[in-house]
């Protein structure tokens, strides 16, 4: 369906004259009670019909390699001589692969390696923090980006228009949808509504019942509707990944947009980030503390911080109210992460590559404290 929508919107496409470079998870399958489980992307690749491999690169053998740091050079060696016309994978990890490919080939952009590139099919994390970096290494104005929204529990939505961030909710995939308004989520007033009752612009947690056997299952994502006819959505965050310690109701969509704007205005690139609260102690007010790893740091971190803070206030009235005159929240704190801090943190937890993601926001400080403890590792 994704390919059909893309080809319908781009009739001159030469997608099938080349191959799709896919970046999936590793084939680390586990068995429990005679049931096998593992990365969704790896299971999909492993179970595709044989003809599907002919239009994809790298080979299944390389795609399913378990060791990320040997997998990347293997992918590069196998793909740089192919006629790649599209990419498919999670933006954060695909960007790592793309930059490694440029380093290995000495090229300045990906079109010098694969001149027939035309589209990147992405999903898994918000594209906003990475958009400008992709534009630099894919300098073609007509290059397309198409987003998909799927999970282990089901395939939910597909971008159905060129140059759009809206995703068409797919209603005929054996999934019954319900929604919990986030303004009552986790409270005694929490209520669940049907699809026909949703409103534009409100944040909802998704509840699904599927013909695969899930019953009123909470996916953990939050969405807001941008159209009701047809139903189109944007993924706004995670039910667990938000900060609401001081009533500020900060969501990932807010921070992703703010990071993107701050980067654009300061000519900066961000690799990854995470945010945690600074809890009030005595008469001391609270704050938000950021850990940001820059690809190229801003010349003036104070300017970056001010743009970031101002943009968050413009996007979120609750955050703005708490920041007004430092009433509840002091100015945000920014830690500049050392090179590869987030990569090393994921490696320590055996979560390199595939579908693994950095938790953007948390109501607790455990992620941030772990990162801070690794900020200046002891040389051994």
9 and 94, same domain (yes or no): yes
CA pair distance 364, 207, nearest whole angstrom: 25
**Per-residue model confidence (pLDDT) at position 30:** 64
Give mean pLDDT, residues 244-267: 90
Per-residue b or e along 344-371, where b marks 16 or more CB atoms closer than 10 Å to that residue's CB:
bbbeeeeebbbbbbbebbbeeeebbeeb
What distance lies between CA 369 and its chain's CA centroid? Answer: 22
Q: Which long-range contacts (CB under 8 A, 24 or more apart) does 61-70 make?
A: 63/22, 63/24, 64/24, 64/26, 64/27, 65/26, 65/27, 66/26, 66/27, 66/28, 67/26, 68/26, 68/352, 68/353, 68/354, 69/352
| Residue 368 belongs to some domain of the structure | yes
**Strand ranges of the sheet holding 287-296, from the earlier edge strand across to the other edge:** 269-278, 287-296, 333-336
**What CATH number is attached to the domain comprising 267?**
3.30.300.30
91 and 192, same domain (yes or no): no
The answer on pLDDT for 103 being more than 90 is yes
Give mean pLDDT, residues 172-194: 93
**Per-residue model confidence (pLDDT) at position 303:** 95
The answer on pLDDT for 147 being more than 60 is yes
98 and 129, same domain (yes or no): yes
96 and 228, same domain (yes or no): no
The answer on pLDDT for 232 being more than 70 is yes
Portion of the chain with pLDDT greater than 90, in percent = 61
The answer on pLDDT for 377 being more than 60 is no
The answer on pLDDT for 195 being more than 50 is yes
Tokens of 268: 């900066």
| Residue 11 belongs to some domain of the structure | yes
Tokens of 97: 């692969």
CA pair distance 200, 12, nearest whole angstrom: 34
Give mean pLDDT, residues 315-324: 89
Q: What share of the chain is helix, strand, coil (3-state, %, to 5)?
A: 35, 30, 40
Over residues 337-354, the pLDDT tens digits come to 999 999 999 888 877 766
Domain boundary residue among 238, 257, 276? 238
pLDDT classification of 301: cutoffs 50, 70, 90: very high
- Domain span holding position 360: 242-373
- Model confidence, pTM: 0.78
**Most trustworthy range by pLDDT among 40-44, 184-188, 227-231:** 227-231
| Residue 160 belongs to some domain of the structure | no
220 and 280, same domain (yes or no): no
Give mean pLDDT, residues 35-56: 77
- Between 376 and 74, where is the model more confident? 74
Domain boundary residue among 215, 238, 261? 238
39 and 124, same domain (yes or no): yes
Cis? peptide before 9, omega within 30° of 0: no
CA pair distance 182, 236, nearest whole angstrom: 11
298 and 263, same domain (yes or no): yes
CA pair distance 258, 261, nearest whole angstrom: 5
99 and 203, same domain (yes or no): no
**Per-residue model confidence (pLDDT) at position 380:** 33
Is residue 67 within 8 A of residue 354, CB to CB? The reply is: no
- Between 48 and 171, where is the model more confident? 171
What stretches of 17-125 show up as alpha helix (H) in DSSP?
40-47, 50-54, 60-63, 68-79, 91-105
The answer on pLDDT for 205 being more than 90 is yes
Based on the structure, what is the number of domains in the chain?
A: 3
């Amino acid at each position: 369906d994704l390919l059909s929508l893309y080809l319908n919107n781009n009739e001159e496409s030469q997608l099938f004259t080349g191959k799709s470079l896919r970046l999936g998870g590793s084939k680390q399958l586990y068995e429990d009670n005679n049931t096998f489980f593992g990365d969704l992307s790896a299971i999909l690749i492993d179970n595709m019909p044989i003809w599907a491999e002919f239009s994809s690169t790298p080979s299944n053998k390389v795609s399913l390699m378990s060791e990320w740091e040997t997998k990347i050079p293997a992918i590069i060696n196998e793909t740089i001589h192919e006629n790649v016309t599209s990419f498919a994978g999670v933006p954060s990890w695909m960007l790592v692969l793309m930059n490694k490919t440029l380093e290995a080939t000495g090229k300045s952009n990906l079109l010098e390696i694969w001149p027939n590139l035309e589209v990147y099919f992405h999903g898994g994390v918000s594209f906003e923090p990475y958009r400008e970096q992709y534009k630099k290494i894919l300098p073609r104005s007509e290059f397309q980006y198409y987003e998909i929204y799927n999970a282990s529990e089901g395939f939910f939505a597909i971008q159905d228009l060129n140059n759009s961030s809206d995703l068409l909710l797919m209603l005929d995939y054996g999934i019954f949808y319900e929604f919990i308004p986030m303004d009552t989520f986790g409270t005694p007033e929490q209520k669940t509504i049907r699809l026909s009752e949703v409103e534009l612009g409100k944040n909802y947690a998704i509840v699904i019942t599927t013909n695969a056997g899930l019953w009123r299952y909470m996916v953990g994502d939050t969405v807001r509707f941008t159209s009701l006819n047809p139903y189109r959505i944007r993924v706004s965050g995670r039910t667990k990944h938000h900060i609401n310690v001081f009533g500020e109701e900060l969501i990932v969509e807010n921070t992703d947009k703010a990071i993107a704007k701050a980067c654009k205005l300061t000519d900066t690139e961000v690799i990854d980030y995470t945010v945690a609260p600074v809890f009030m102690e005595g008469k001391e007010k609270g704050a938000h503390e950021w850990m940001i790893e820059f690809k190229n740091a801003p010349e003036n971190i104070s300017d970056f911080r001010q743009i970031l803070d101002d943009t968050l206030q413009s996007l979120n009235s609750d955050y703005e109210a708490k920041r007004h005159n430092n009433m509840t929240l002091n100015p945000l704190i920014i830690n500049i992460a050392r090179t590869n801090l987030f990569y090393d943190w994921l490696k320590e937890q055996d979560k390199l590559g595939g579908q693994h993601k950095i938790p953007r926001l948390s109501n607790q400080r455990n992620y941030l404290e772990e990162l801070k403890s690794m900020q200046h590792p002891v040389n051994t």
